[in-house]
Amino acid sequence: MTSPDLTAAPWGAIPAHAVDAATAHLREVLATVVEHGPAQRALVVYDRRSDLARALTAGYRRNLPDAVFIDFDTVAAGEVLAAFKGMAAHDLVVLIQSTNFRLEAFRIRVELFKLGLKVIEHVHLSRMPGAQGEHYIESLAYDSAYYRGVGKALKRRIDGASMGVVHSGGETLVFASPFESAKLNVGDYSGMNNVGGQFPIGEVFTEAQELEAVNGRARIHVFGDTSYMVNRPETPITLIVERGRVVGTENATPEFEQVLEIIRLEEGEVWLRELGFGMNRAFTRERRVNDIGTYERMCGIHLSLGAKHGVYQKPGFKRKDARYHVDIFAVTEAVYLDDELVYQDGAWLVGAET
């Protein structure tokens, strides 16, 4: 058997025009999102194990001709760590990972932030083969007016609301409580300690201040399975929620019941916590990628199962006992915050305000 000709098809299933698009999207990310300029150095650590990783690496090479590029699979871990430590505060590190890089106990992004470095992280790229790679590339497009305008407007609505309702496939899920101060992942790091994070971006998230004030039903069209992959049941699963806990289901698949059983085994009951307002228009109910952490940015509503939430600390939830945070995605026709309709027909209805 002959080896594949990487010269003829360097990005495998990803066409040249998609690599051109990646180059353009990444140029905007570098300039606008992380504000990388000529006065700062850049280090790109990459691998060649997937078409998408090779395509993104090509895009960064075109945009960062003076950067240092390190193929993770050709050097020792110590060399990578030394390269990190040789960077100065406000320099940029880009991580392009077909899976996710392991450097012993070194938590890469956290430690890079401690060094004052800007970080752009792409992970689990091998989970998104073929056309999914093109979806991922499209998700990197940065529309500053949309993300910052709509994102900040959503945060204002969430922070000022006394309650919210998600209309889900003929069912309603009611959050009869004010919300925690919403967090933004919209590519604007002004006033934040760290610049950058995991890409793609596009999300505003919160949860009810009173978790037991969440009641109702929601229809789930995708959930994260035990392999952290998107699992889409043939028929949406109806989730029944009472006092913030999942107390029943309809049309549940064995795979979904397994997720619930694992959570119950470790935590005793299944809490519903995060309320996520996904904003990335590259992903929809029908236009998906396999990696659940990437699909989480889908334009629509996602929720989380399990007691774990690292951002919002609640009385009675101990970090050591809260083990699970499983993303699930609601069929969503409409979302109300108090009496204001903020989402309908696949789009957010709020925008930048003066």
What does the alpha-carbon distance between residue 351 and residue 59 come to, in Å, rounded to a whole number? 31
What is the structure's pLDDT at 106?
A: 62
What is the structure's pLDDT at 3?
A: 42
- pTM, full prediction: 0.94
What does the alpha-carbon distance between residue 40 and residue 279 come to, in Å, rounded to a whole number? 30
For the chain, the C-alpha Rg in angstroms (whole number) is: 21
What's the mean pLDDT in 298-323? 90
More confident residue, 192 or 320: 192
Cα 298 to Cα 139, 310, 318, 350: the distances in Å are: 9, 21, 30, 17
What is the structure's pLDDT at 8?
A: 43
Reported confidence tier of residue 13, pLDDT bands at 50, 70, 90? very high
CA 254 to chain centre: 26
What is the structure's pLDDT at 319?
A: 77
Percent of residues, the chain, with pLDDT higher than 70: 96
What is the structure's pLDDT at 289?
A: 98
What's the mean pLDDT in 180-208? 96
What's the mean pLDDT in 59-70? 98
On the question of pLDDT at 354 being above 80, the answer is no
pLDDT tens per residue, range 89-143: 999 999 999 999 988 656 788 889 999 999 999 999 999 999 999 999 999 999 9
On the question of pLDDT at 353 being above 80, the answer is no
